[in-house]
Amino acid sequence: MQRFVLNQKNRITLICAVLIVIGFAGGLVFKNETIAVWSLMVASLFGLAPIAIQAYQALKVKVVSIDVLVTIAVIGAFFIRNFEESAIVTFLFLFGAYLEQRTLNKTRSAIKELTEMAPESALKQMDNGEFEEVEVDEVDVGDILLVKTGAKIPVDGTVISGEGSINEASITGESLPVAKGKGSTVYAGTILDNGTIQIVADRVGEDTTFGKIIELVEEAQDSKSEAERFIDRFAKYYTPAVLLLGILVWAISRDLELAITILVLGCPGALVIGVPVSNVAGIGNGARHGVLLKGSEVIRDFSRLDTMVFDKTGTLTEGNPSVSEKIYYEHPDEALEYLASIEHESDHPLAKAILAEIGPVKLWSVEDTEVVKGGGIVATVNGHRVAVGNVAMLESENVTLTEQAKTDIARLEKGGNSLVLTAVDGELKILMGVRDQIRPGVKEDLQRLKKLGVKNLIMLSGDNQGTVDVVGRELGLTRAYGNMLPEDKAAYIKKLIEEEGQIVAFVGDGVNDSPSLALAHIGIAMGSGTDVAIETSNVVLMNSDFSRLPHALGLTKATFRNMKQNIIIAVGVVLFLLAAVFFSEWMNMSIGMLVHEGSILAVILNGMRLLGYKLRK
C-alpha cells in the first residue's frame, strides 16, 4: 500500500491542485462554505498521505526528516481548522518535489546520454563464416565482428580488415572523426561514420573503456564531498532542533499556528540538495567534454590548487621523438647493428626514433640484458659488452669520454636534445641527439592555467638538464628539472606538499609516473582511453588533449563557486523566513512553504548552469 501511494505521488499532486481550485472557487465565487471546507479538507488528507508515509519510513530508521516536520505542521494546521494552509502546504511540498525530480534528472543527463550511446547488438562471425546479429552480451573476447557505416562499435577491439572514420566523442569528447585502418584500436560506444571494418574483440561488456567510463561517472556522481558529508551531519541535528524549537515556541506562547509555521519555514531542503546538485552537474559537464572527474572530493582539491607539475614526454611534448643529429666515433658500422639489435627489443619511445634513423640493418642476438633504471640498457651482443643510455650510465660503466665527445654532448644538450650514447667494450662509438616536439597550443594553454590562478608551473623529466631548460624557457615554466628518476619525481612532489605546503596536481601518462600521480593531491592522466590512466589518477583527459586541462580546472573552480552560492542561498532563505515569522505580520505557513520550495528550485537551477559551462577563450 505504501509503495502504491508513493508511486501515485504525481497524480495525488494533481488531484490536490484540482481540489484546492474547487475549494477556493466554492468559497470565493459561489459563497458555498461547505464545498470550500470539504474540498480543502480532502486535499489536505490526500496530499498528506505520501508525505506521512515518507515521514514514517524516516522515523523507522531514526531520522527526523523534512517530511516529519511537514507532516506535523499539516496535522497541526488541520486540527486548528486552518484547512486553506494545510491544503496549500501539502500541494506546494508535493509539487516542489515533482519539480526537483524533473530538474535533477536533467543534471544527470551525462549518465543518460552515455548509457544511450551503449551498443546493444553486434554482427558476429559464426562458425560457418557468416555474420549474424546478436546481443552485445553474447560477444566474447576473440570474436570477429563486422561494423558497417553508421553503426556503433560494440566492443573494444583491433581492426583486422577494412578502413573507416570513427566518431570517438563518447570516449574523448572530440567530435572530429578519426581515421582507422588495419591494426588500429577502436572503442565500444564510438560510431563508424563511414566505411566498413572487421574487428577482433579485445575487451567486452563492463571491461571496455566505455563501460569503465560509465562506471566512473556513476561512482563520481554518487560520491560525497567533505562539504556534503558536513551538511548531512548538520541536517541530522538541525532538523530535530527545528522540531524542538517549534515545541518550545508552542509551550511558551501557546500559539500552535506559530509553532507549526516555524516547522515549515525551518526545513533545510535547499541546504541538503544544493551541494550535490552542483557536484553532479559539474561531473556531468566534464564527462561530456572528455574530462573524467573521479568523485566530488576531486572538485574541492582541484579548484584550490596552486602548483601544477608536469611530466615532459607525452604530456608537454608529443611523445614522438626523432633523431635530430648523430655523431660517429671511429668505426660505427658494427656498433649501429648492435645498437639496433638492443633497441629492437625495447618499447621506449626513443627506441622507435633510433630504429627509424638507423633503417634496416643486420640484427644480432641480444643476451644478458640488464636494464639500468633511468639510465639505459647494458647487454652482450655478438660477444661484446654494449652499453646504450645517457651520460651518467656510461660513466658508471667506466666509459672514457674524450674532450671532443664532451664538447659534442654539451652542444647537443644546449640544443634541447635527449642524448643516447652507445659504447662497445668501454669505448664510445655513437652519440645521437633526439628531440621531441612540443605539443601544438601547449604554451597558450599554460598561460590560461596561470590566468585561472595556478601560481607555479613545474616540469620534471628524466631527460638531461639542457633539454629540459630549452623546453622550460620556450613554454615559460616557473621551474624545470631534468635527470629525474620516477622516485626523484615522487620525492619532489612530497617535498612540495609537506615542506612548502602547496596544493599540487601532477600531470603525467599514468604509467611511469604512477607514484607521483598517487602522491599529488590531484593526479591527472593524459589518458588516451587506456586502462592504466583510468585506474591510477583522480582526473583523466580521455583523448590526451592538453587543451582540456584549462577547461577541467575552470570547471572545478566554477563548480566550487556554485556550491558556495547554493549554501548562501539556502542558509539566507531560512534565516530570512525565520526572521519574518517573528518580526512581521504577513508571514504564514503557505507563503513560507512557497518561498521554501522556491529556494530549492533556485539552488537546482543555479547548479544546472554548470551543464553548459565553457571556458572563455
Residues 459 and 515 in one domain: yes
For residue 397, give the C-alpha cell.
660503466
Find the CATH number of the domain harbouring 355: 3.40.1110.10
Residues 444 and 424 in one domain: no
Residues 396 and 544 in one domain: no
Comparing C-alpha atoms, which of 153, 157, 236 is closest to residue 196?
153
pLDDT band at 372 (very low <50, low <70, confident <90, very high): confident
pLDDT for residue 478: 93
Residues 375 and 429 in one domain: yes
Find the CATH number of the domain harbouring 133: 2.70.150.10
Residues 385 and 532 in one domain: no
Q: From CA 144, how far away is CA 189, in angstroms rounded?
A: 17
pLDDT for residue 547: 86
Residues 486 and 538 in one domain: yes
For residue 57, give the C-alpha cell.
519510513
Task: Report the b/e string of 414-449 with b at 16+ CB within 10 A.
Answer: eebbbbbbbbbeeebbbbbbbbbebbeebeebbebb
Q: pLDDT tens digits for 487-519?
A: 788 899 999 998 989 999 999 865 567 678 878
pLDDT for residue 174: 53
Q: pLDDT tens digits for 255-311?
A: 887 888 888 777 777 777 788 788 888 888 888 888 888 777 788 888 889 999 998
Asked whether the predicted pLDDT for residue 392 surpasses 60, the reply is yes
- Say how many domains are in the chain: 3
Q: Please spell the DSSP secondary structure of 129-184, one letter per residue.
A: S-EEEEEGGG--TT-EEEE-TTPBP-SEEEEEEEEEEEE-HHHHS--S-EEE-TT-
255 belongs to a structural domain: no
Comparing C-alpha atoms, which of 303, 290, 301, 153 is closest to residue 216?
290
The edge-to-edge listing of strands for the beta sheet with 504-508 is: 291-293, 539-541, 522-526, 504-508, 307-311, 456-460, 479-481
CA distances from 257 to 45, 72, 80, 85 (A): 18, 11, 8, 10
pTM over 0.75: no
Residues 391 and 332 in one domain: yes
Asked whether the predicted pLDDT for residue 443 surpasses 60, the reply is yes
Asked whether the predicted pLDDT for residue 172 surpasses 80, the reply is no
Which parts of 296-365 are beta strand (E)? Answer: 307-311, 322-328
Asked whether the predicted pLDDT for residue 388 surpasses 70, the reply is yes
Asked whether the predicted pLDDT for residue 183 surpasses 80, the reply is yes
**Residue 361, SS3 per DSSP:** coil
Find the CATH number of the domain harbouring 549: 3.40.50.1000
Residues 344 and 308 in one domain: no
pLDDT band at 344 (very low <50, low <70, confident <90, very high): confident
Asked whether the predicted pLDDT for residue 529 surpasses 50, the reply is no
Residues 399 and 541 in one domain: no
Asked whether the predicted pLDDT for residue 199 surpasses 90, the reply is yes
Question: What mean pLDDT is predicted for residues 520-539?
Answer: 70
Residue 497 belongs to what domain range?
A: 293-318+440-555
Q: pLDDT tens digits for 315-330?
A: 888 767 788 888 998 7
For residue 607, give the C-alpha cell.
547548479
pLDDT band at 177 (very low <50, low <70, confident <90, very high): confident
Residues 413 and 467 in one domain: no
Is the Cα torsion angle 267, 272, 275, 279 positive or negative in sign?
negative
pLDDT for residue 243: 84
Residues 163 and 197 in one domain: yes
Is the Cα torsion angle 479, 480, 481, 486 positive or negative in sign?
positive
Comparing C-alpha atoms, which of 412, 430, 238, 213 is closest to residue 331?
430
276 belongs to a structural domain: no
573 belongs to a structural domain: no
533 belongs to a structural domain: yes
Q: pLDDT tens digits for 184-198?
A: 888 888 888 888 999
Is residue 422 within 8 Å of 386, Cβ to Cβ?
yes
Active site residue 311: yes
Which of 143, 156, 301, 311 is labelled catalytic?
Answer: 311
Q: From CA 297, how far away is CA 223, in angstroms rounded?
A: 8
Q: pLDDT tens digits for 422-442?
A: 999 888 989 998 887 788 889
Strand partners, 201: 157
Non-local (6+) Cβ contacts of 399 within 8 A are: 387, 421, 423, 426, 427, 428
Q: From CA 15, how far away is CA 524, in angstroms rounded?
A: 52
